[in-house]
Amino acid sequence: MKEKKGMNRRRAIFAGITSAGALLLSGCLKKALPTYGNILRMGDNLTYIAQRGLLSQRALAMEYQKSDITSFPVTDIGDPADPASKAAYSKVYQELQRNNFKDWTLSVEGSVAKPGKYSMDDLKKLGERTQITRHSCEEGWSAIAEWTGVPLAALLQHAGILPAARFVCFYGFDNYGESIDMLDAFHPQTILAHTMNGETLPARNGAPVRLRVETQIGYKNVKYLQRIVVTDKFVDAGPDISNGWSWYTGI
């Protein structure tokens, strides 16, 4: 078939779609996360931008009934109280656990007006939320449990989060870390859980406090929390990206 010169309807539609795409991309590039040139991480960024742009950021993840609660596997990188788990071991944690976490505090640092250490009692004074939600692991399995904890938003507000802050990093005693953006940090279901299925958070489920981010995949939910750092710039606390994993896991 011979090509017709000029703009026909089909070409006009196609040109429209591509230029809209280009506009969208250039508008978002300023905020784009580092990819280190990896095409897979660029794909992850596209998902992040699209989910932030197209989905409701206040919508709650599905909450379930008590009768829906399932068994819950522990598949983390190791017990921080056990010297045999090598990379995950922390002597400090082991001693805190021996004393039933009475001396445990959560350190809040970075872009906050009042950095400081919060004991369990300090945290519990900030508020409480209970939710029965689903934990979806990247491996493919899922589990439902009831979590009670302090809304992260309440803690960040109490610490006086500064206007320039954009990310919140979480570090566990098991040398694991993750970071999330402000939309997830201030999501009503993002809590620092101290209670699971009505009992004090069991040791291997992340005692004494773990993060719950219900709009992302399981590995964002840092256990055995030690430190929270609020940052103005993106910090790959995992590091997820340089380890070859997606930083944003809304899918």
Partner 1 sequence: MGDVQHKRWVKGAHFIITLSFLALTVSGYVILMSHPRLYWGKAGNDLTPALFELPISRNYQHGGWEKRIQFKHLTGSQISAVRTYDIFNQNGWGRSTHFLAAWFLVITGLIYLMFGFFSGHFRRNLVPRKKEFSFKLFCHDFASHFRKQLYTGGKYGLLQKITYMAVIFFLFPVVILTGFTMSPAITASYPFLLKIFFGHQSARTIHFFSATALLLFLLVHVVMVVRSGFKQNILAITFGK
Q: Does 234 bind partner 1 (CB under 8 A)?
A: no
What distances in angstroms separate CA 83 from CA 77, 95, 162, one per listed residue?
Answer: 13, 12, 39
Q: Does 77 bind partner 1 (CB under 8 A)?
A: no
| Choices 51-59, 104-112, 115-123, 226-234; region in contact with partner 1 by CB under 8 A | 51-59
| Choices 46-54, 97-105, 122-130, 150-158; region in contact with partner 1 by CB under 8 A | 46-54
Q: Does 244 bind partner 1 (CB under 8 A)?
A: yes
How much is the CA Rg of the chain, to the nearest whole Å?
Answer: 21
Q: Does 242 bind partner 1 (CB under 8 A)?
A: no
Give the pair of three-digit tokens for residue 250.
Answer: 């809304």
Please, which residue, 57 or 105, has the CB nearer to partner 1?
A: 57
CA 178, CA 229: separation in Å to the nearest integer? Answer: 10
Q: Does 245 bind partner 1 (CB under 8 A)?
A: yes
- The DSSP symbol for 79 reads -
Per-residue binding letters, 192-231, with partner 1 (x by CB under 8 A)? ----xxxx--x-xx--------xxxx--------------
10-44 per-residue burial string, b: 16 or more CB within 10 A, e: under 16:
eeeeeeeeeeeeeeeeeebeeeebeeeeeeebeeb
Give the pair of three-digit tokens for residue 73.
Answer: 């596997």
Q: How far is the CB of 71 from partner 1 (least distance, A)?
A: 3
CA 56, CA 36: separation in Å to the nearest integer? Answer: 29
The binder of partner 1 chosen from 20, 55, 92, 164 (CB under 8 A): 55
| Choices 50-58, 98-106, 111-119, 149-157; region in contact with partner 1 by CB under 8 A | 50-58
Three-class SS of residue 234? coil
Is the previous residue joined to 239 through a cis bond, with omega within 30 degrees of 0?
Answer: yes
Give the pair of three-digit tokens for residue 137.
Answer: 């692991």
Q: Does 138 bind partner 1 (CB under 8 A)?
A: yes
Residues found near partner 1 in the complex (CB under 8 A):
1, 10, 13, 17, 39-44, 46-47, 51, 55-56, 59-62, 64, 67-75, 79, 134, 136-144, 196-199, 202, 204-205, 214-217, 243-246, 250-251
